[in-house]
Structure 1
Amino acid sequence: MCDPNMAEFQTMIEQVIQNCRPELIIDDQNGSSLKLGQLDGRYVAPFGQEHYRRVRDVALRDDDIILAGYPKTGCHWTWEVLSMIISGRAVHTKTGKLLCFMEMTTPHLLNSVQSRRILNSHLWFRYLPKQMKEKQTKTILTFRNPKDTVVSFFHHHAAMPEPRTYTGTFNGFFSLFMKGQVDLGSFFDYYKEWDEDIRNNTDQPILIVTYEDMKEDLPREIRRLAAFIDVPLTDQQVEEIAQAGSFSSMKDVYHRNNYFSDRYLRKGQVGDWKNWLTVAQSEMVDAAVEQKLKGTRFASPRYTLKV
């Protein structure tokens, strides 16, 4: 992938922040507010509906890859690893996934990216590019334990610039998360819908990658990703990418280079939820998994819903 016009890229980031126009302001039980947008009655980040509507019209190239997933389930990390796999080099990008974040970037910037592009989105299957099914675009879906996801999501909002900063407590945010009153709505409904779409679109090549699997054995997951997108790698390339592509390495590079995304990379741990959730809150998540994800692939122990 080519390096973008960094001045244009920075302008895009600044404009998205400045143009955030929340359509909804939802208060937690303590009166702290979370500012959201809407898309056909669904909760989204307040980038503006025009940003979301144009994703359907993104013109896909034959070798494009789509990377999707609920916020804070490893999209940044997977995107960076994928970019190294495609280039065959253990080198970090200058922009992270924001350059190809379809609901945020500009069409001009997106078109300036050389193939192969990794087009990222947090949207549901039905809102992704129309050509996706026709071209059978290879799609990667990230997943993470919902307990770690809610903790990471809380810190994500706390780190956001105005007008999107959430100043409430974790307990307040947790209640909004469990009600689905956050960006992209309910975690549980999101993956239930994805499960249905995978079942109903068997011709669509979709690979599920979990945060926990990436942490457990990154070289193994690099090989899985490379095989899925048909990129041959030597053992040496896999090891080099695994070293450079570790979460800690990515966070360090982002921090040293003062990348915009650095503020949203925190610990990158599995099981940190135990330092945040009460026993009652943990049981609430387990109950939601049982109620909403039962019968889906995401209720399988493989996806480590209970850690």
Structure 2
Amino acid sequence: MDKTSAEEENHNEGAEGKVSVLEDENGEQLKVVTFEEIVMPVSAMQKGIKARLSYVKKLPYQDGDVLVSSYPKTGTHWTANLLHFLMYHGPLDTLVSHPPCLIDLFNYEDWPQKRDGNRIIVSHYQPKRLPAEHFEKGGKTIVVFRNPKDTSVSLFHHLRKFTKIGGLKLSWNSYINYWMDGKMPFGSYFDYYNNWQQQIKEKPEQNVLVVQYEDLKKDSLNQLRRIQNYLGLNHSDERLQAVLDKCSLGTLKAEVENGKVKTPLIDEKGKSILYRKGVIGDWKNLFTVAQNEKIEELIEEKFRNSMFSYDVWNC
């Protein structure tokens, strides 16, 4: 691309942010737009970042709303479905899973499948960007986090399947360096959770519940008890186990792929792009020794004395 074309592209597509082209050693590219801490694929922001930020910030609160806030690929949709079944008081046999609305990309009013009862709203934006009324009116907020190594690997596979926004073609070696630098879609993992720690410390009255993905996987029943207590629910352990069974990875994936659950988050073959392995430690299949050493140094630098730093990351 010549200089004139690049300038025109920046003007047309980056009027509300800086357009960058991320390129790997093979010449494959990903075009992203950055606005302050927001990083998104250009194709996902056709209506403008400022309009989207305004929509999210001004989203009216409805009594009983539960907001799930997380960095992408930390167990967001699994957590949202645990909430979906927890917050339902009828028979679970015929109830299907629920694709929550990611308000960073979609308007809640236009979401194809709304749940009966209280809303479950999902965002990957940092806390300062979230709906103001939700906090002002005492809405419940659950922050989900996961080992950054597994998170980065899961996002890599997710973006490669997300053909509706162009699909990621960058090599793993290039991708992981961009990800650690906070240049991949949704920005810096470390800044995201550092900002949440600051928010929780400065505004304890917001009563935010922090949930760790690895704890949910390894100690599911106790973690589900903890979540339902936060929500003011009182289901039996038998009911909680039924919720866990309904939220198995196989069931959630199958209900999307057999058409029972409608969501735009599918590939061109109708396969879910949300659910892959969902395991702990998958990072070992991609990280080189050098890459692991680099991210360990980054974790030590960014998460020293952090509430989001645990030994489980070495699993």
Fold in common (TM above 0.5)? yes
Q: Tell me which of 4, 19, 39 is aligned to 1:24.
A: 19
CA distance in 2, matches of 1:230, 1:184: 32
Residue equivalent to 1:145: 147
Once the two structures are superposed, the pairs formed by residues 46-65 of structure 1 within 5 Å of their partners are 46-47=44-45, 48-49=48-49, 50-65=51-66
CA distance in 1, matches of 2:137, 2:204: 14
**Alpha-carbon shift at residue 226 of structure 1 (Å):** 1.0
CA distance in 1, matches of 2:115, 2:237: 28
Once the two structures are superposed, the pairs formed by residues 156-171 of structure 1 within 5 Å of their partners are 156-171=158-173
Kindly indicate whether residue 287 of structure 2 is the aligned counterpart of residue 277 of structure 1.
yes
CA contact (8 A) 2:145 2:212 kept: yes
Comparing 178-187 and 243-252, the one that deviates more: 243-252
CA distance in 2, matches of 1:131, 1:40: 23
CA shift digits 1:139-191 (9 cap, x unpaired): 00110111111111110110011443111211121111011101221111111
Q: Secondary structure at the match of 2:153?
A: helix
Q: Matched residue pairs, number?
A: 283
CA distance in 2, matches of 1:41, 1:233: 40
Q: Which runs of 5+ in 2 are unaligned?
A: 1-12, 266-271
Residue equivalent to 2:176: 174
Indicate the percent of aligned positions where both proteins have the same amino acid: 28
Alpha carbon RMSD of aligned pairs, Å? 2.2
Comparing 122-131 and 163-172, the one that deviates more: 163-172
**Alpha-carbon shift at residue 61 of structure 1 (Å):** 1.6
**Aligned CA distance change for structure 1 residues 216 and 63 (closer, same or farther; 3 Å):** same
Aligned residue identity for 2:23: D
CA shift digits 1:171-216 (9 cap, x unpaired): 1211110111012211111111111111111101111112111211
CA distance in 1, matches of 2:80, 2:114: 18
Once the two structures are superposed, the pairs formed by residues 1-307 of structure 1 within 5 Å of their partners are 24-30=19-25, 31-45=27-41, 46-47=44-45, 48-49=48-49, 50-88=51-89, 89-90=91-92, 93=96, 95-97=98-100, 100-109=101-110, 114-257=116-259, 259=262, 260-261=264-265, 262-301=272-311, 304-307=312-315
Aligned residue identity for 2:32: L
Q: Secondary structure at the match of 1:297?
A: coil
CA shift digits 1:98-137 (9 cap, x unpaired): xx22122325346976531111100000000111221121
Q: Secondary structure at the match of 2:210?
A: strand
CA distance in 2, matches of 1:225, 1:265: 22
CA distance in 2, matches of 1:102, 1:162: 17
CA contact (8 A) 1:25 1:33 kept: no
**Alpha-carbon shift at residue 265 of structure 1 (Å):** 1.3
CA distance in 2, matches of 1:86, 1:163: 32
Q: Secondary structure at the match of 1:207?
A: strand
Structure with the greater alpha carbon radius of gyration: 2
CA contact (8 A) 2:81 2:97 kept: no
Q: Which runs of 5+ in 1 are unaligned?
A: 1-20
**Alpha-carbon shift at residue 282 of structure 1 (Å):** 1.1
CA contact (8 A) 2:160 2:167 kept: yes
Aligned residue identity for 1:35: K
TM-score relative to the length of structure 2: 0.83
**Alpha-carbon shift at residue 95 of structure 1 (Å):** 4.9
Aligned residue identity for 1:281: Q
Q: Secondary structure at the match of 1:305?
A: helix
In terms of fraction of residues, the more helix-rich structure is: 1
Q: Secondary structure at the match of 1:185?
A: coil
**Alpha-carbon shift at residue 255 of structure 1 (Å):** 2.5
